[in-house]
């Protein structure tokens, strides 16, 4: 083999390795936008996150609904803002209520597959997800292109072998298909994780507002 050619080829190979090694993007704070498909239709959810907090914001008609949580799973609040009705409520779950929701949540195990595909620019690998409680299975697609703190949508998939890009989860007993559309390191606005100016109510009060 031509020695000069070999040196060039070797240099290109090392350059490729270096590129792949540095291709992963790490986010410690930012904004992730997800597309949600539910029985009620399609909606986008914008999640603001830091290393220890997340705020999932969804707009439904005149109402803005924000789900606040921390990475430890010890704090959860539902914040409702309906300006046209002068409604500003924040339901903060008690420790017992948080435990009840956690107990009712699926218990997932993950089996990595070999199939790959690209979703919204992310290089993803297929993972089979099994709920050990119900025995049901589903498919998730995870990527190693990025890492970021878990949020209210991805927390159950923390051990899936990569950052979840497309998966199925449950909210209030209903199946929700989730797809990550984009993520950026834009700093969440000041006050994103607070409830200043909102009337604090109980979870039962919140359910009563919805006629439940």
Q: Which two tokens stand for residue 201?
A: 């109510």
How many independent structural domains does the chain possess? 1
**Residue 187 DSSP one-character state:** P
Which CATH number covers residue 85? 2.50.20.10
In this prediction the pTM is 0.82
State residue 174's pLDDT score: 76
State residue 16's pLDDT score: 42
- Is there a contact between 150 and 162 (Cβ–Cβ < 8 Å)? no
Kindly state whether residue 155 falls inside one of the protein's structural domains: yes
Torsion angle, alpha carbons of 138, 144, 149, 150, to 10: 0
Kindly state whether residue 5 falls inside one of the protein's structural domains: no
Q: How far is CA 154 from CA 7, 30, 55, 192, in A?
A: 45, 15, 13, 19
d(CA 50, CA 64): 21
- Is there a contact between 146 and 27 (Cβ–Cβ < 8 Å)? yes
Kindly state whether residue 4 falls inside one of the protein's structural domains: no
Kindly state whether residue 129 falls inside one of the protein's structural domains: yes
Task: Give pLDDT tens digits along the chain (212 positions).
Answer: 444 444 444 444 444 444 344 457 999 999 999 999 988 789 999 999 999 999 999 998 899 999 999 988 899 999 999 999 999 999 999 999 999 888 888 889 999 999 999 999 999 999 999 998 888 899 999 999 999 999 888 989 999 999 999 999 876 667 899 999 999 999 999 999 999 999 999 999 998 886 54
Domain extent, residue 171, equals 25-209
Kindly state whether residue 75 falls inside one of the protein's structural domains: yes
State residue 124's pLDDT score: 97
Kindly state whether residue 153 falls inside one of the protein's structural domains: yes
Kindly state whether residue 188 falls inside one of the protein's structural domains: yes
Kindly state whether residue 18 falls inside one of the protein's structural domains: no
- Is there a contact between 177 and 139 (Cβ–Cβ < 8 Å)? no
The angle subtended at Cα 120 by Cα 163 and Cα 129, nearest 5°, is: 40
State residue 57's pLDDT score: 94
Pairing verdict, β 108-119 and 122-131: antiparallel
State residue 7's pLDDT score: 46
């Amino acid at each position: 083999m031509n020695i000069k050619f070999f040196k060039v080829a070797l240099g290109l190979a090392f350059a490729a390795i270096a590129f792949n090694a540095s291709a992963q993007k790490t986010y410690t704070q930012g904004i992730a936008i997800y597309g949600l498909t539910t029985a009620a239709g399609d909606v986008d959810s914008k999640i603001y996150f830091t290393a220890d907090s997340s705020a999932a914001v969804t707009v439904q008609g005149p109402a803005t609904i924000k789900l606040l949580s921390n990475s430890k799973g010890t704090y959860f609040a539902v914040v409702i803002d309906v300006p046209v009705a002068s409604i500003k409520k924040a339901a903060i779950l008690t420790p017992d209520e948080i435990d009840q929701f956690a107990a009712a949540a699926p218990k997932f195990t993950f089996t990595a597959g070999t199939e790959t595909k690209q979703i919204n620019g992310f290089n993803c690998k297929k993972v089979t997800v099994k709920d050990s409680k119900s025995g049901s299975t589903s498919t998730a697609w995870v990527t190693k292109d990025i890492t970021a703190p878990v949020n209210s949508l991805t927390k159950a998939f923390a051990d899936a072998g990569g950052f979840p890009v497309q998966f199925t989860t449950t909210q209030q007993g209903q199946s929700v298909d989730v797809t990550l559309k984009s993520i950026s390191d834009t700093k969440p606005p000041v006050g994103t994780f607070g409830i200043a100016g909102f009337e604090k109510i109980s979870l039962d009060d919140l359910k009563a507002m919805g006629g439940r």
